[in-house]
């Protein structure tokens, strides 16, 4: 009974975040949009039939009043499952503030102890969908990975599309991709949406490479695991303080290549996302007349391999979530 409730409950969580945050699209205030999404997400979480604890959230307790690391969420009845929760109420706060594409609300959830407690630092990542599983190696050059992924997918390299965040630190990836003739799609913010796009053939995205946030990496890994794809990662601590932070969170070897099973240590993880603005995979929130809004979401479970796309029409003045 709870499995069905959990999957659909997670969609309600990301829907609530997206509805609240999308109201502030294009207003130029990323913090206000993020806070609105956090408010909606927390309220929805507390209706779920789980004993949940946030392991990746908005920050430490003294940094964030809600959805902080260690916070308990859910109904917390004794017969309910204990769950690790990883949240990003708005992946792409700059995007929603500017009204740009690829801003989404995301949640990953697995049994207690299953999600890597990733510190808030940089993480190098490479990800592909199920068709190229086994073809990537984070220690190889971008050029080698592109050629190997193209072979695995039965594509000519010129037909392969890689997605890369437009940052100076990624110039070497773009240069090598262009050298071998691959197609390159650049994005500004929101690498969860970028990694998510790798798992679906209809997005036209085959491979994601680059360095971004470690917490977002764990959330994205949950999605890739649900889709049967592959992801590898390397933490990139910038100083001694960040190294000590890793150790304090139970990561003894900061130079270890993290496989998808290191990032998500369970075969029963859930992932849900609702778009605030249009993305490669999902349409953003649309507000209509008479307090009606439409959301587009995806929810997955790795144990069953189920992927559901959910289009929901909300009567906002009747909703208890916003």
Measuring CA to CA, how many Å separate 87 from each of 45, 177, 266? 11, 32, 17
Q: Considering only CA atoms, which of 141, 142, 124 is closest in space to residue 235?
A: 124
Neighbour order of strands in the sheet with 230-235: 183-187, 161-165, 207-213, 122-128, 230-235
Our CA dihedral for 149, 150, 152, 155, rounded to 10 degrees, sits at: 160
Burial of 178: CB neighbours in 10 Å, binned 0-12, 13-18, 19+: exposed
Count Cβ atoms below 10 Å from residue 76 Cβ, excluding itself.
14
Q: Residue 319: phi, psi to the nearest 5?
A: -85, 145
Calculated CA dihedral for residues 245, 249, 252, 258, nearest 10 degrees: -100
261 annotated as belonging to a binding site for a ligand: no
For residue 216, say whether it is annotated as part of any ligand binding site: yes
Query: Is residue 58 marked as binding?
Result: yes
CB half-sphere exposure, 222, CA atoms < 13 A:
31
Q: What is the dihedral of CA 143, 144, 149, 155, to 10 degrees?
A: 70
Taking residue 215's Cβ as centre, other Cβ atoms within 10 Å add up to 26
Which alpha helices (H) appear in the chain, and where do they start and end?
Answer: 2-22, 30-45, 93-98, 142-153, 171-180, 191-198, 214-226, 240-248, 260-263
* Nearest-angstrom CA–CA distance, 199 and 222: 11
3 state DSSP class of 251:
coil
Residues annotated within the binding site are: 34, 58, 88, 91, 216
Residues annotated within the binding site for Mn(2+) are: 34, 58, 88, 91, 216
């Amino acid at each position: 009974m709870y499995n069905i409730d959990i999957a659909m409950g997670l969609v309600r969580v990301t829907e609530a975040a997206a509805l609240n945050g999308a109201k502030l699209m294009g207003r130029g205030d990323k913090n206000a949009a993020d806070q609105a999404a956090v408010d909606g997400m927390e309220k929805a979480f507390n209706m779920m039939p789980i004993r949940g604890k946030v392991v990746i959230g908005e920050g430490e307790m003294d940094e964030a009043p809600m959805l902080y690391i260690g916070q308990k969420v859910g109904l917390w009845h004794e017969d309910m499952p204990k769950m690790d929760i990883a949240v990003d109420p708005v992946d792409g706060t700059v995007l929603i503030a500017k009204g740009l594409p690829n801003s989404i609300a995301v949640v990953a959830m697995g049994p207690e102890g299953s999600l890597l407690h990733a510190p808030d630092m940089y993480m190098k990542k490479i990800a592909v969908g199920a068709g190229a599983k086994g073809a990537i190696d984070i220690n190889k050059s971008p050029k080698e990975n592109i050629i190997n992924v193209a072979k695995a997918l039965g594509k000519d390299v010129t037909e392969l599309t890689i997605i890369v965040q437009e940052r100076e630190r990624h110039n070497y990836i773009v240069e090598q991709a262009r050298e071998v003739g691959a197609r390159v799609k650049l994005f500004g913010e929101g690498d969860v949406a970028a990694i998510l796009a790798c798992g679906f053939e209809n997005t036209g995205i085959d491979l994601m490479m680059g360095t971004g946030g470690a917490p977002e990496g764990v959330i994205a890994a949950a999605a890739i695991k649900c889709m049967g794809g592959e992801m590898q990662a390397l933490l990139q601590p910038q100083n001694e303080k960040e190294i000590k932070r890793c150790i304090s969170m139970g990561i003894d070897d900061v130079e270890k290549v993290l496989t998808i099973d290191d990032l998500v240590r369970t075969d029963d993880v859930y992932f849900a996302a609702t778009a605030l603005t249009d993305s490669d995979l999902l349409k953003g929130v649309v507000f209509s007349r008479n307090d009606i809004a439409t959301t587009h979401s995806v929810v997955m479970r790795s144990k069953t391999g189920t992927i559901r796309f959910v289009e929901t029409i909300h009567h906002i003045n009747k909703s208890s979530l916003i």
